C-alpha cells in the first residue's frame, strides 16, 4: 500500500506517465471535457473537493514549469487568481481567453474535475523535468 503522496491511483499513474511539455487540467464543475480526453471526476458535492485543495496536492507531486489560466479568472474569480499568483510565484503564469483555454483542453493528458463551483477555477499545469539526484 502506498504510504504517502497522492493515493488516487488514476492521478498517480497520470503524473508518473507525464513527459516534458505534457499537461493536465484541473477544472471546476462547469468546464466541458472534450471527447477523447480522459476525465478523473473527484467532485463529491458543490465545493468538495475544492480547486485549491486539488491544486495543492497535485503541485506537491508534479514538476510544473508553467501554468495557464483563463484571463476571465482575473476579474471574475479574483480570490482564486490571487491564490494562483501567490502559490506559484516562481513559476511562469500565462493567460489566454476562456475559449482558447477550452481549445487547449483537447490535448490534455487528463482533466481532473473538482467540486469547485466558483467560475473560471481552472488551470493547465505544464510538466517540467525533475532530474533529482543522479547516480555516480
Quote the pLDDT of residue 134. Answer: 57
pTM of the predicted structure, to 2 decimals: 0.94
Query: Does residue 121 have a known ligand-binding role?
Result: yes
* Active-site hit among 20, 56, 103, 130: 20
Number of domains in the chain: 1
CATH number, domain containing residue 65: 3.40.1650.10
Residue 2 falls inside a structural domain: no
Query: Does residue 126 have a known ligand-binding role?
Result: no
**Residues 101-129 pLDDT 10s:** 999 999 999 999 999 999 999 999 999 99
Residue 86 falls inside a structural domain: yes
Residue 102 falls inside a structural domain: yes
Quote the pLDDT of residue 2. Answer: 78
Residue 136 falls inside a structural domain: no
Task: Reply yes or no on whether 56 is catalytic.
Answer: no
Residue 133 falls inside a structural domain: no
Residue 14 falls inside a structural domain: yes
Residue 84 falls inside a structural domain: yes
Range of the domain at 51: 9-127
* Sheet containing 93-96: order of strands: 39-41, 111-113, 23-27, 123-127, 64-70, 93-96
- pLDDT tops 60 at residue 135: no
Query: Does residue 122 have a known ligand-binding role?
Result: yes
Query: Does residue 28 have a known ligand-binding role?
Result: yes
Residue 134 falls inside a structural domain: no
Amino acid at each position: 500500500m502506498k504510504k504517502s503522496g497522492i493515493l488516487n491511483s488514476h492521478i498517480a499513474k497520470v503524473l508518473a506517465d507525464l513527459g516534458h511539455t505534457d499537461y493536465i487540467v484541473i477544472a471546476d464543475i462547469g468546464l466541458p471535457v472534450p471527447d477523447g480526453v480522459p476525465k478523473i471526476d473527484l467532485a463529491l458535492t458543490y465545493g468538495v473537493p475544492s480547486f485549491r485543495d486539488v491544486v495543492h496536492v497535485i503541485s506537491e507531486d508534479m514538476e510544473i514549469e508553467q501554468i495557464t489560466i483563463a484571463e476571465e479568472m482575473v476579474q471574475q474569480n479574483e480570490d482564486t487568481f490571487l491564490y494562483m499568483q501567490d502559490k506559484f510565484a516562481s513559476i511562469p503564469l500565462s493567460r489566454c481567453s476562456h475559449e482558447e483555454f477550452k481549445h487547449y483542453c483537447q490535448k490534455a493528458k487528463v482533466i481532473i474535475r473538482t467540486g469547485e463551483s466558483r467560475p473560471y477555477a481552472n488551470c493547465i499545469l505544464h510538466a517540467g523535468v525533475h532530474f533529482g539526484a543522479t547516480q555516480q
